[in-house]
Amino acid sequence: QEVLRSQKKGGADFSVRMKFRYNYYEYKNHSGQTYPSLGVTVSLPLNFNRGNKPLEYELAEQIETFEQEQSNLLRELKDRHRHFYFLKNDLSDLKNDLEYIKVLLNAEKMKSKQSKKEFSPITYIDLSKKFIQKKIEILDKQQELCEDFFQFYLKAGFLNEKNTPQEPKAVELSLANKKNDPNLSTYLWGHFFNQKTNRELLEIFIRTKISTVFFSPANSDLEKTADFIKQCNSTGIKVYRLISENSYALSDDGNKKLQNKLGTIENQGFSGIHLNIEPHTFSDYKRNQETYTKRMNNLFIETKRWCDVHNMALSVSIPMHTPIEEISVLKQAGIDAFIMAYENDDHSKLLDRTLNLRNVLGENTAWALRIKDFKSPHDIIRTKQLLHDHGIFNLAYYDCALLYKL
At residue 190, what are phi and psi to the nearest 5 degrees? -60, -40
Q: Which residues of 166-180 are buried (b: 16+ CB within 10 A; e: fewer)?
A: eeeeeeeeeeeeeee
- DSSP, collapsed to helix, strand or coil, labels residue 379 as helix
Domains and CATH numbers, the chain: 2-43 (no CATH), 72-165 (1.10.287), 182-405 (3.20.20.80)
Non-local CB neighbours of 357 within 8 Å, separated by 6+ positions: 318, 320, 322, 324, 327, 339, 365
pLDDT of residue 166: 44
pLDDT of residue 171: 33
Residue 95 CA to residue 91 CA, distance in Å, equals 6
Residue 184 CA to residue 172 CA, distance in Å, equals 24
- DSSP, collapsed to helix, strand or coil, labels residue 174 as helix
User: Could you read off the pLDDT tens digit of each residue along the chain, which spans 406 residues?
Assistant: 555 555 555 555 667 777 767 666 666 666 666 667 767 777 766 665 555 667 777 778 888 888 888 888 888 877 777 777 788 888 888 888 888 888 888 877 877 777 766 667 888 888 889 899 989 999 988 888 888 887 777 777 665 544 544 443 333 333 334 344 569 999 999 999 999 999 999 989 988 899 999 999 988 899 999 999 999 998 899 999 999 999 999 999 999 999 999 999 988 999 999 999 999 999 999 999 999 999 999 999 999 999 999 999 999 999 999 999 999 999 999 999 999 998 777 899 999 999 999 999 999 999 999 999 998 888 898 899 899 989 999 999 998 988 877 6
Residue 215 CA to residue 194 CA, distance in Å, equals 12
C-beta of residue 131 within 8 angstroms of C-beta of residue 182: no
pLDDT of residue 43: 73
Distance of CA 65 to the CA centre of its chain: 44
Residue 280 CA to residue 296 CA, distance in Å, equals 11
pLDDT of residue 105: 83
Residue 240, Cβ density class (10 Å: 0-12 exposed, 13-18 middle, ≥19 buried): buried
Residue 19 CA to residue 157 CA, distance in Å, equals 57
Give the residue among 107, 83, 68 at the shortest CA–CA distance from 227: 107
Handedness of CA 95, 96, 99, 105 (dihedral sign): negative
Can you give the pTM of this predicted structure? 0.59
Helix and strand totals (H; E) in the chain: 13, 10
Residue 236 CA to residue 392 CA, distance in Å, equals 22
Radius of gyration of the chain (CA): 38
- Work out the angle at residue 317's Cα, subtended by the Cα atoms of residues 313 and 322, and round it to the nearest 5 degrees: 125
